Amino acid sequence: MSERPPSQLYAVVGDPVSHSLSPLIHNRWIGEAGIDAHYSAIHLQAADAAPSLRLLVQNYAGLNVTLPHKRAALAASASASPEALAVGAANTLMRERLGWRAHNTDVTGFADALSAAAGEDLKGRRVVLIGAGGAARAAALHLVRLGVQLVIVNRSAAKADALVRDLAPEAQTAALDQLAVAASQAAVIVNSASLGHAGAELPDLPAGKDRPFLDLSYSAAAAPALRQAREAGWAPHDGLTMLVAQAAEAFRIWFGISPDTAGALDACRAAVAARQ
């Protein structure tokens, strides 16, 4: 006799998506909570993913959405949380009566990772945020709420200016080649630039003197910047804490349960180590 399929389906949608640790994390928590559900990965190649994401509401109770479809996820939704609206992108969708409700759990995920790396006391302190893409927008929303003195350092000035205009009107901006000056007095550096995916490095960093350097990437993509940070005397942290924390917030939204993040983080570290 074959086993009954799970009654609630969840998935992460992205392009690429085969590397995603989200199925590992969520199926672990689903098992621990004894929920009748399954979480899979859906590879979706589309210039505009919104129509396909709208169709998935018929079969899926919830989705995570990753690169490059987070803006389309918001567009595909019938309603949205204040965070998703402010960031302009969604990474978590929950099925409701009228369609998807969009959430952005990267904001909470970043908040948890930042406090784990740099503590709680950043109000009024200088924080350098490298990058101005989707992850930077989620990070900037939290940093503005914290009341830090924010400096956005990005390759393209236009994207940094747009981030300032939309989310952080009091932030300063600096060109990427000015990183050493911009970061010399920073309490913490947050790196959200995805340059490590291509094996590229950051410009020179100032001496870190054990200050925290939080990279939002993880695994091989984070390796070049974390090595640079360590060599310059910064205390390096990768993005796995944020990954697990944003997943935990999604799990709370879907199931109303706070899952075991420490166990999931250990499982992710083991999975990443096994791939290297």
What residues line the site for ligand NDP (CB under 6 A)? 67, 106, 109, 131-136, 154-156, 159, 176, 192-195, 197-198, 200, 216-218, 221, 239, 242-243, 246
Cα–Cα distances (Å) from 108 to 103, 143, 219, 241, in that order, read: 11, 11, 21, 11
**Could you tell me the smallest distance in angstroms from the CB atom of residue 250 to ligand NDP?**
11
Which residue, 109 or 208, is less far from ligand NDP as judged by CB? Answer: 109
**Structure-token pair, residue 197:** 């995916």
CA 45 to chain centroid, in Å, comes to 20
Catalytic amino acids? 70
d(CA 40, CA 219): 21
Residue showing the smallest CB distance to ligand NDP in the complex? 133
How far, in Å, CA of 186 to CA of 182, rounded? 7
> Whose Cβ is closer to ligand NDP: residue 148's or residue 179's?
179
Q: How far is the CB of 112 from ligand NDP (least distance, A)?
A: 10
How far is Cα 220 from Cα 198, in angstroms, rounded to an integer?
10
Q: Which is nearer to ligand NDP, 12 or 148 (CB)?
A: 12
Least separation in angstroms between CB 3 and ligand NDP: 32
Q: How far is the CB of 4 from ligand NDP (least distance, A)?
A: 33
C-alpha angle 23-24-25 in degrees, rounded to nearest 5: 90
Q: Which stretch of DSSP H or E encloses residue 252?
A: helix 240-255
> Given the complex with ligand NDP, which of 57 and 107 has the nearer CB atom?
107
